[in-house]
Amino acid sequence: MSAFDITEVGKYTPDELKNKTLVLVKPDAFARKLAGEVIGRFEAKGFGLLEVKKLRLTKAQAEDFYSVHKGKPFYEKLVASISAGPLVALVLEVPANRDTKGKTAVEVVRLMVGSTNPSEAAPGTLRGDFGLDITDNVVHASDSAESFVRESKVIFG
């Protein structure tokens, strides 16, 4: 049985959700053999790996995943790129014995990921160290607990 039953995610309290987030190693980064590096960064930081899943999104799943961006000029390209090949999805958790001084998993992970445009992302961040392209920007990370719940349902069903 899985350590983290994503179908139960709706039952998490707001406090429990603060410790969790979703990261996708995007298809371009997966093809560039960066999955191990990305996972290693989060492990070295101290996150627990609740889920690690390799999958390929259908176009319909990709449209659902990025539905908040529907209508934006970059939407079609984004959907094509995230469904172009296999990706690795991670559910990360801050272990219960770690004191983040109120910072959520979403916030800590987004700091590690860096600015959306890798060409502007700080060195030391994943996008700053491994990307040059705004669409194939190495990883996606949930931007809120609500996004984590919605996005996780697309990935894990």
Name the site residues for ligand CMP (rule: CB under 6 A). Answer: 69, 74, 78, 116, 134-135, 137, 140
**Minimal distance, residue 88 CB to ligand CMP, in Å:** 14
Task: Rank residues 100 and 116 by Cβ distance to ligand CMP and give the closer one.
Answer: 116
Look up 69 and say whether it is catalytic: no
DSSP code string of 18-73: TTEEEEEE-HHHHHTT-HHHHHHHHHHHT-EEEEEEEE---HHHHHHHTGGGTTST
Task: Rank residues 74 and 120 by Cβ distance to ligand CMP and give the closer one.
Answer: 74
**Minimal distance, residue 11 CB to ligand CMP, in Å:** 26
Task: Rank residues 16 and 76 by Cβ distance to ligand CMP and give the closer one.
Answer: 76
Amino acid at 119: S
Residue (of 53, 23, 51, 55) closest to 141 by Cα position: 23
Phi, psi angles (nearest 5°) of residue 74 = -95, 0
Catalytic residue from among 25, 140, 151, 156: 140
Active site residues: 140
